[in-house]
Amino acid sequence: MEYREISEGYSVSGQIQPEDVAAIKVAGFKSVICNRPDDEQPGQPSADTLKAAVEGAGLAFRYIPVISGQITAENVEDQAEALDELDGPVFAYCRSGARCTNLYGLIQQSRG
């Protein structure tokens, strides 16, 4: 599993698997955000499956599904609220990491 640091408290990656959660915890992350809708691709683990693994490891989890290419103002608000509320550093994932990165950029723009 590879991830990219976007800021000191926020990193992104593509789809993770339940077995990746231990490495996420060891890397020092405190919270995980899933920006990938369930059933986007056959065989991807559900948000509930990952939530169970993440919370089982003692980390916080948020599910903020974003349709690829269709980020809404509500998505940006929900992500900003999650980043304000969750302990960091935060690990966010989607299919490739692009939606998570774009959400972060939009949050930064809105906060000027």
Q: For 22-73, how does the pLDDT look when each residue is reduced to its tens digit (9 = 90+)?
A: 999 999 999 999 999 999 999 999 999 999 999 999 999 999 999 999 999 9
Helix (H, G, I), strand (E, B) or coil at 86: coil
Q: How far is it, in rounded angstroms, from Cα 69 to Cα 13?
A: 17
The C-alpha angle 20, 27, 44, rounded to 5 degrees, equals 20
Residue 37 forms beta bridges with which residues?
none
- Looking at the whole model, is its pTM more than 0.85? yes
